[in-house]
């Protein structure tokens, strides 16, 4: 239990502009009006950085400012020698935890370790527990940040990509945005092959990261096998230029390694309680990486793949078109490993869109259509498995990159 002088926690944004002072209340019935902080959960926002008299300990202990400044000096000294050391180990608050994420060396070090939440309002009573990993919490708002770091760093390490060179990729936008993040942070150029079948928000984000975009026109904004293969061929041609490296996400095995930590995070955050993992398939790298990681802990975790019902090629159906961005490329992914998957379920565009909208309105989770597909199929499995089981899925990316599409446009059908 904290003692007098140890009953507060002070943090700021390390620029001195705002400082929240939050006291940690202790059960001490003899505390009087002048014995320090009283009342539960008191907070004060002090723009000047000064502390009021009612927030200063009365027993001669250091003030919040004095103790915080000592902590900041210790943190600065320690991180100068060891920048990766956690701030938690430097907590100046005796007897209370001082939880604070360590400072990252750069934005790429912030990829991964995303939160996991339990879905509540969209899951009917009597169903299995459904957990969703919020990959939208990655720096660009997508799980693809993981593969972009893995693929580019591996290419730089073995010399396929030269420092200052240019990365080339075909993309529905999400991979392109994540590659843009890594290229900007690593000082690389980026050539993207894109299409009007995908959202304008994605285009703007890639351009903001410095990407040059070449467009391949679609057939009435439909995602088809023909479109994807034209995009692949165009990007391969561009990659033949000097100092250009073709990422070629569909055949890039380094990308799979970026998702192994995702599986480990799922296992740890769920407390080792995963009966089924559900995920939609584009390149298939993410479902493969998670399946392999979970399989090292428990061999009988069920893996369910999700694909569009109108282009159900994984299920042996004919190729077709759909409007669930990021999945269902219309042909078998070159690195597809069916032995890693226990079952394949299908979803319509309308079902995926409807669930994405429900996630926003009922769970406060703003996500894209592929995330809606993930959750909709997860609910089917949760009903089948019953309340004693746990189903885990991914919120693949943020809905912020789809606000002008039919998914979220006000004129879109309910």
Q: Is 42 exposed, middle or buried (0-12, 13-18, 19+ CB in 10 A)?
A: middle
Q: Among all residues, which ones are annotated catalytic?
A: 144, 370
For helices 200-208 and 174-186, what crossing angle results, to 10°? 10
**b/e string for 359-376 if b means 16 or more Cβ within 10 A?**
beeebebbbbbbbbbbbb
Instruction: Name residue 19's beta-bridge partners.
Output: 12
d(CA 195, CA 411): 23
Give the 3-state secondary structure of residue 185.
Answer: helix
162 CA to centre of own chain: 28
In the structure encoding, which two tokens stand for residue 251, read together?
């055949």
d(CA 283, CA 175): 10
In the structure encoding, which two tokens stand for residue 353, read together?
């869109």
For helices 349-358 and 369-385, what crossing angle results, to 10°? 90
Q: How far is CA 211 from CA 1, 30, 141, 410, in A?
A: 54, 64, 18, 30
Alpha helical stretches, state H, 239-320: 253-257, 260-269, 285-295
d(CA 10, CA 56): 12
**Closest by Cα among 401, 370, 327 to 178:** 401
Residue pair 21/43 in contact (Cβ under 8 Å)? The answer is: yes
CB 292: neighbour CB atoms within 10 A? Answer: 17
Q: What is the largest CA-CA distance in the chain?
A: 78
d(CA 183, CA 200): 21
Instruction: Name residue 43's beta-bridge partners.
Output: 22
**Closest by Cα among 338, 357, 362 to 403:** 357
């Amino acid at each position: 239990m904290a003692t007098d002088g140890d009953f507060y926690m002070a943090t700021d944004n390390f620029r001195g502009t705002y400082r929240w002072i939050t006291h940690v209340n202790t059960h001490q019935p003899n505390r009087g009006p002048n014995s320090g902080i009283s009342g539960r959960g008191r907070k004060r926002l002090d723009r000047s950085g000064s502390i009021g008299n009612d927030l200063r300990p009365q027993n001669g202990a250091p003030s919040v400012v004095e103790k915080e400044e000592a902590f900041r000096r210790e943190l600065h000294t320690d991180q100068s020698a060891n920048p990766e050391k956690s701030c938690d180990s430097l907590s100046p608050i005796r007897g209370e935890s001082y939880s604070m994420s360590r400072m990252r060396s750069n934005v790429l070090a912030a990829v991964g370790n995303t939160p996991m939440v339990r879905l509540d309002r969209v899951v009917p009573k009597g169903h299995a527990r459904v957990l969703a990993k919020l990959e939208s919490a990655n720096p660009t708002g997508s799980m693809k940040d993981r593969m972009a770091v893995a693929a580019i760093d591996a290419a730089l390490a073995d010399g396929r990509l030269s420092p200052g060179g240019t990365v080339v990729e075909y993309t529905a936008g999400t991979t392109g945005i994540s590659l843009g993040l890594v290229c900007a942070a690593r000082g690389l150029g980026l050539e993207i092959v894109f299409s009007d079948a995908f959202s304008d928000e994605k285009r703007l984000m890639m351009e903001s990261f410095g990407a040059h975009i070449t467009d391949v026109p679609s057939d009435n904004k439909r995602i088809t096998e023909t479109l994807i293969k034209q995009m692949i061929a165009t990007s391969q041609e561009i990659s033949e230029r000097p100092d250009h490296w073709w990422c070629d996400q569909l055949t890039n095995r380094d990308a799979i390694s970026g998702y192994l930590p995702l599986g480990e995070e799922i296992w740890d955050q769920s407390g080792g309680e995963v009966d089924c993992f559900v995920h939609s398939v584009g390149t298939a790298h993410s479902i493969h990486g998670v399946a392999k990681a979970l399989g090292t802990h428990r061999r009988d975790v069920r893996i369910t793949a999700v694909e569009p019902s109108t282009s159900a090629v994984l299920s042996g159906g004919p190729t077709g078109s759909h409007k669930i961005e990021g999945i269902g490329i219309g042909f078998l992914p070159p690195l597809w490993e069916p032995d890693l998957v226990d079952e394949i379920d299908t979803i319509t565009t309308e079902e995926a869109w409807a669930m994405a909208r429900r996630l926003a309105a009922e769970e406060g989770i703003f996500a894209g259509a592929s995330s809606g597909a993930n959750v909709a199929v997860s609910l089917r499995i949760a009903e089948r498995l019953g309340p004693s089981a746990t189903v885990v899925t991914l919120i693949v990316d943020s809905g912020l990159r789809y606000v002008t599409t039919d998914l979220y446009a006000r004129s879109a059908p309910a």
